[in-house]
Amino acid sequence: MSKIFISALSFMLLASAIADHPLSWYRDMEEATIDDESYARSTETAYRLPENVVPLEFDIYIDLYFAERTEKPFSYEGRENIIIQAVEDGVTQIVLHANVDSINIVSVFDDTGAPVRLNPLQPFETEPLYHFLKINLAQSLTKDAKYTLYIDYSGTMNEGPMKRGIWRGWYEDGNGTERIYATTHFQPYNARQAFPCWDEPLFKSVFKIHLTKPASYSGTFSNTRLGSSTTLPNNRVRDDFLETPKMSAYLVTFLVSETFQSIAEDLSYTPPIRIIGRSNTAGMADHALNLAVKMTDFFDEYFGIPYASLHPNLLNDHISSPDWASAGTENWGMVSYRELYLILDPNETIMSIEHYAATLVSHELAHKWFGNLITCFWWSNTWINEGYASYFGYIATNQMFPEYELDDHFNTRYLQTSLAFDSGVNTVPLNHPYVNTPAQVTGHFGTISYSKAAAFLRMTANIISLETFRKSCKYFLENNAYEPTDQHDLLAAFNQAINEDQSLSAYSNFVFAEYYRMWVNEPGYPLLNVVIDHSTGNIELSQRRFFLNAPGVSTDQIFPIPITYSTKRNPNFTNLRPVRMMTFRTDTLNKDAGEEWVIFNNLQQGHYRVNYDDTTWRLIAEALLNTPDEIHYLSRGQIVDDVFALMRSDRMSYSFGFNILRFLEKESNFHVWDPAISGLTWLRNRLRHMPAKQAEFDNFVLGQMEHAITTLGFEPAAGETPTTTMARQSILQFACTLGHVRCIQDSWDRFVDWRDNSNPVNSRVRRNVYMTAMREGDQNDFQFLLNRYRESNFANDQLEMLRGMGASTNPELLTRYLSLTLTKEVRSHDKLNSFNYALLGNKENAITVLQFVKNNIDQIRVAYVEDSPARPVHNALSNLATYLDEPELVEYEEWLRSTQTSSLQYATAISSINSARNNMAWGTANADVILSAIRSSAATTAASIAMLVTMAGFVMLA
């Protein structure tokens, strides 16, 4: 999927990561236009709780029942005492959240234990739409007095992780016996499914959890240390956990299992750092433990607020969960992750997953301070929680694990993703005021809150200095510990550190508060236009907000832009401190006179794009082609990223742009090819309905990639960097998909050697091997891979096998593969991904997928958990349209209009069909222009090479 031209990435993120760390493979899918309300500009506040009563302390007893209770299996009974306080006079109604099966008893007592009279006609009522429990009093509460609210309730465990709340999952132990476990996933608004509560981040309380379960469920964990266990009748046990710090309800968690245990631990820390997982993964989490230990050390020292000092009862546990709706979730004391990120083995794990896991553990640990110790006031400013965690996931982890070169990967993971998404007309600011409904809340956990927020923080750190940024973090945490915060609290911490260090004294007329206001509260970002008079060295700068598809009128936004640049004679790419803060629409700089390449935005650290005058672009293009090492690889990647965006937005012709990109023929660097593959894929997908023209485009792309394929090779080399390994993974997957003969042959040979000689495929190239094998193989090969999938104990390798089977070209085998997604063999969190893999595998697969959807739509709705917050069925039906040609779109639309008009997905699917047609129309209109551009580029490159060869001959003759 292109990071450069994305109209609906926010919803794609919802498919995998609502309110948690996003998954790493969301970029695989082509964009789909979703009829989504998550960013609707609504001022609806009816979902918000009144603030006239606040909770102070919860004492919660939950009795968990599994299959042993035949009348109501997999259910729970709950009782809670909540100490509350009225903060204003005249309160006669207590309103909190509850989304459980039934509220059985409600009572209120004053601080002497005497009952408070409830309204005899209607002591309490529920509003299911808003998940409100309203307790009606016959007398008003006394301001500042404390009361105890008692609630008896009951509920049912959700099946699988997708609907969150209290849910049950499954796994097989070392003997092959299926085991059931129960756990929780509350972020952002699902604590109310487990116990009635004030389920908004503003309301912070102390929680004491008591869990009753069958005695065989010995593996029980929660946020805090176990205080005591009590044997009960009927072979049951109650575990009483010590009280938590003052925190928001969504951070409460627990896990109850039969065989989960500590599978890796470091007992030298207080609290001990442990990895918890199913017993048959013992000894397989040492790498995850190393990540957790070193990143705890880093944050202890960086913030100056050691984890052990946050609260004496907190644990530092990391749960490896066989099922999980997202990549990871930061519950305080007990972080939960999808298992494939903690059970890592270089012999079984592809490098992109290992690489991502390092950032994930760091991200979740950063949340202990940013998100747990301090919490966003409301989800409108969740960018503070997620932006800091995302920033530290890469920048901090790079300090402790430099081998991953994560600071370099920040651009492709966050900066370029943010630039792509934030270039739309309807994008929203970091601090988005229109976040109220559940759909709006989940929608705001996406690219803006993660990627743009992290990019903004990195840009800010470069402006104010890394030392001042660190100081601002400490002030922010210390000044707001255990409290909800908003953007104004963060600004105060920035100002405190900046004023103390005088770190902006070099920038005259620069007001940090205006910089902060603009970047936090305004959507979008600027395009910096650079016009250079090389004869004098005069540089004219101007800015406009960048849109991929410009609206009828331009905005008057002026963004404070940190200006950095390098030239051929002064290539100071690593100097990231701005030489100037551009605070007006235009500005002027000077360099030495004389023609030379000039590149602004060193290492693409600023959140903006750059366009140059034609002469400067030509100088850059010549350097990229002839002396590319003069230009830092991150800046080369920036140029690729910007050129594709400039071409798409009609600010640069395709012939001019592809002339600049000629240098890709000699390029093999990951950071350059990653945005190139994104941009090329977007264009390629617009030609899908014109096979001959797509084939010509593919031949051009393969020619561009040949040097990278040859340089990287097909076999990982001993001692190579993770970045090199990931470059090979990306290049080979793309090359095999486009039909590169040697790539296909090598991949097939590796699969055959595994199948026939039991020689395992190198884990670092399994993706292209599995996919190629399923494209080239037959039913026996499919069955071979399916058998290995069923036998594997590694979630990551299983996922790669699913991706591979999704590339099957045989309609019967592909249907068989898709049918697996309707069974428990494909875990609920992998079902939508598996569906998408079938669309990504081959162009023709979409026809088979359409028939599968038409024949199985009711089963899909059940298996994919239609009503889960991620709305996977919406995603599946929308993604399908993106990959259909016009005859199949007609068939799809007729089926929708004749059978699905009353479905939840109808409007979304129809909208996606319209979007697919628009994409094809764009491709039809632009195909000849694009093909002419690549022909011209190829001819120019050939001429340049011939000239170099001739010149070399003259030198030899001399």
Mean pLDDT, the chain, as a whole number? 93
Residue 172 CB neighbour total at 10 angstroms: 13
pLDDT range class, residue 10, cuts 50, 70, 90: very low
| Peptide bond between residue 628 and the one before it cis (omega within 30 degrees of 0) | no
- Residue 554 pLDDT: 77
* Own/partner long-range contacts of 747-751 (Cβ < 8 Å, ≥24 apart): 747/771, 747/772, 747/773, 748/772, 748/773, 748/776, 751/777, 751/781
Q: pLDDT digit string (tens) for 90-121?
A: 999 999 999 999 999 999 999 999 999 999 99
Is the pLDDT confidence value at 36 over 90? no
- Residue 952 pLDDT: 33
Is the pLDDT confidence value at 918 over 90? yes
- Residue 21 pLDDT: 54
Is the pLDDT confidence value at 950 over 80? no
N- to C-terminal Cα separation, the chain: 51
φ and ψ of 893, to 5 deg: -65, -40
Start-end of CATH 2.60.40.1730 domains in the chain: 53-362
57, 205 contact by CB (below 8 A): yes
| Cα 767 to Cα 782: distance, rounded to the nearest angstrom | 15
Is the pLDDT confidence value at 424 over 60? yes
> Could you tell me which residues come within 8 angstroms of residue 384 by beta carbon, excluding any fewer than 6 positions away?
370, 376, 453, 485, 486, 487, 490
HSE-CB for 817 with a 13 A CA cutoff: 34
501, 445 contact by CB (below 8 A): no
Is the pLDDT confidence value at 395 over 60? yes
**Burial class of residue 895 in the structure, from the number of CB atoms within 10 Å of its CB (0-12 exposed, 13-18 middle, 19+ buried):** middle
Q: What is the arithmetic mean of pLDDT over 373-400?
A: 96
In CATH, the architecture of 526-612 is: Sandwich (2.60)
Q: pLDDT digit string (tens) for 820-851?
A: 999 999 999 999 999 999 999 898 999 999 99
**H and E: helices and strands count for the chain:** 28, 31
- Residue 947 pLDDT: 35
Is the pLDDT confidence value at 798 over 70? yes
Start-end of CATH 1.10.390.10 domains in the chain: 26-43+373-521
For residue 868, the 8-state DSSP code is S
- Residue 16 pLDDT: 37
**Burial class of residue 461 in the structure, from the number of CB atoms within 10 Å of its CB (0-12 exposed, 13-18 middle, 19+ buried):** buried
Is the pLDDT confidence value at 732 over 80? yes
Start-end of CATH 2.60.40.1910 domains in the chain: 526-612
Is the pLDDT confidence value at 546 over 60? yes
pLDDT range class, residue 940, cuts 50, 70, 90: low
Q: Which residue type is seen at 802?
A: L
Q: Check residues 140 and 7 and name the one with the higher pLDDT.
A: 140
pLDDT range class, residue 438, cuts 50, 70, 90: confident
Is the pLDDT confidence value at 44 over 80? no
Q: Which residue type is seen at 783?
A: Q
Is the pLDDT confidence value at 1 over 60? no
| Cα 881 to Cα 911: distance, rounded to the nearest angstrom | 9
Is the pLDDT confidence value at 20 over 70? no
Q: What is the arithmetic mean of pLDDT over 431-458?
A: 92
| Cα 357 to Cα 351: distance, rounded to the nearest angstrom | 10
pLDDT range class, residue 470, cuts 50, 70, 90: very high
Q: What is the arithmetic mean of pLDDT over 127-147?
A: 97
Q: What is the arithmetic mean of pLDDT over 46-57?
A: 96
Q: What's domain 53-362's superfamily in CATH?
A: tricorn interacting facor f3 domain (2.60.40.1730)
> Could you tell me which residues come within 8 angstroms of residue 22 by beta carbon, excluding any fewer than 6 positions away?
13, 16, 326, 327, 446, 450
Q: pLDDT digit string (tens) for 320-348?
A: 999 999 999 999 999 999 999 999 999 99
- Residue 28 pLDDT: 54
Is the pLDDT confidence value at 4 over 70? no
- Residue 553 pLDDT: 67
- Residue 793 pLDDT: 94
Q: What is the arithmetic mean of pLDDT over 853-865?
A: 98
| Cα 136 to Cα 152: distance, rounded to the nearest angstrom | 16
pLDDT range class, residue 6, cuts 50, 70, 90: very low
φ and ψ of 534, to 5 deg: -65, -20
- Residue 11 pLDDT: 31
| Cα 90 to Cα 584: distance, rounded to the nearest angstrom | 52
Is the pLDDT confidence value at 41 over 80? no
Q: What is the arithmetic mean of pLDDT over 888-896?
A: 98
Angle, helix 633-648 to helix 614-626, in steps of 10 degrees: 130
Is the pLDDT confidence value at 756 over 50? yes
Pick 26-43+373-521's CATH classification: 1.10.390.10, 3.40.605.10, 3.10.129.10, 1.10.357.10: 1.10.390.10
Q: pLDDT digit string (tens) for 236-294?
A: 999 999 999 999 999 999 999 999 999 999 999 999 999 999 999 999 999 999 999 99
| Sequence-ordered alpha helix ranges (H) in 212-280 | none
- Residue 625 pLDDT: 97
Is the pLDDT confidence value at 957 over 50? no
Is the pLDDT confidence value at 896 over 60? yes
- Residue 954 pLDDT: 33
- Residue 942 pLDDT: 53
- Residue 466 pLDDT: 98
